[in-house]
Amino acid sequence: MRSLRAAVVFLTRIPIGVGRNGPPPLSQTVPWFPIVGAFIGGLVGLVYFGLSQVLPGTVAAAVAISFGVAVTGAFHIDGLADCADAFAGGATVERRFEILKDSRLGTYGTSAVALVLLIEVAALAALEPTIGLKSLVSAHAIGRTASVCVMLITRRAAREGLGADYISKLSTSRGLAGIITAVAVVILVSGPKGFLLLGFAVPATIITWAWSHRSIGGVVGDSLGAITQLSQTSALIGAVTLNSGVCACL
């Protein structure tokens, strides 16, 4: 279970430690990412469910999404911001890599973060508390599953860094095990709609993956963060769509 604990430490700010022997190789933690995502979604969902009993839905959703950003240390949001700044603002591949390494936040990155968080708050507020809880578990699991899928099928753009380590050392069997487990969790939590939620995340995954390849010739850690975040947000949008009056028959 050392790999699972290491995945929790890596993806969150929860100080559980990884034992006396230190963390295992990064590639061994990747298959646990979707499960940790489901755990994070559950925490955020419980915050939303609890607060919605005493606060208006929009306020409860805003606090819950904020809690999610805090518990993850804005990990994936940061990747999205960096990619938005680099891919949209860089004129050459070299310049895009420079922007990716720059800690400063630009207009594109700021806009991307603001819009994504706004969409997530609006989507969550539109969901009944119990459905919101289940949807958050599924959405967070789906976001991390999307990045694991990309790691298995893509090539890296940088020779070093977290993204390069994941992609080069992740075994197919470990990656598939994580994906299959995550899909099972999504179906268990969301029922048949879970398959449809997975489908909502596919366009965001493909578009962001293709944009990264077009911009820098492959995928880096920030690209994986952007894929995770946008797939998660897309799954939440899917939950609203599937639970609206128009799609109640589904």
Q: Is residue 195 part of a domain?
A: yes
Question: Residue 1: pLDDT above 80?
Answer: no
Strand partners, 156: 219
Number of domains in the chain: 1
Q: pLDDT tens, 105-145?
A: 999 999 999 999 999 999 999 999 999 999 999 999 999 99
Mean per-residue pLDDT for 197-203? 95
What's this model's pTM, rounded to 2 decimal places? 0.91
Q: pLDDT tens, 5-44?
A: 888 888 899 888 766 666 677 777 888 999 999 999 999 9
Q: Is residue 214 part of a domain?
A: yes
pLDDT number for residue 67 = 97
Distance CA 186, CA 179 (A): 11
**How far does Cα 90 stand from its chain's mean position?**
24
Q: Is residue 44 part of a domain?
A: yes
Domain encompassing residue 178: 2-240
Mean pLDDT score across all residues of the chain = 89
Tell me 170's DSSP state: -
Q: Is residue 250 part of a domain?
A: no
Q: Is residue 245 part of a domain?
A: no
Q: pLDDT tens, 155-178?
A: 666 555 555 556 666 778 888 888
Q: What is the separation, in whole angstroms, between the first and last Cα of the chain?
A: 38
Q: Is residue 246 part of a domain?
A: no
Q: Is residue 249 part of a domain?
A: no
